[in-house]
Amino acid sequence: MRFHRTYFSRDARFSIGIELDAGRCYVSLPVSNGLVDYEEYYEIDRETYARFLSVPAEASAFVAECRRHERDDLLIVQPGRNRGTPV
pLDDT on residue 84: 83
Q: Which residues of the chain have pLDDT under 70?
A: none
pLDDT at position 34 is 86
Residue 56's pLDDT is 92
Q: How many domains does the chain have?
A: 1
pLDDT of residue 49: 98
Q: Are strands 14-19 and 3-9 parallel, antiparallel or unpaired?
A: antiparallel
Domain assignment present for 85? no
Nearest to 53 by CA among 25, 30, 72, 31: 25
Q: Domain limits at 12?
A: 3-79
In a domain, 86, yes or no: no
pLDDT, residue 43, reads 98
DSSP string, 17-37: EEETTTTEEEEEEEEE-SS-E
Report the pLDDT value the prediction gives residue 83, as an integer from 0 to 100: 87
Residue 61 placed within a domain? yes
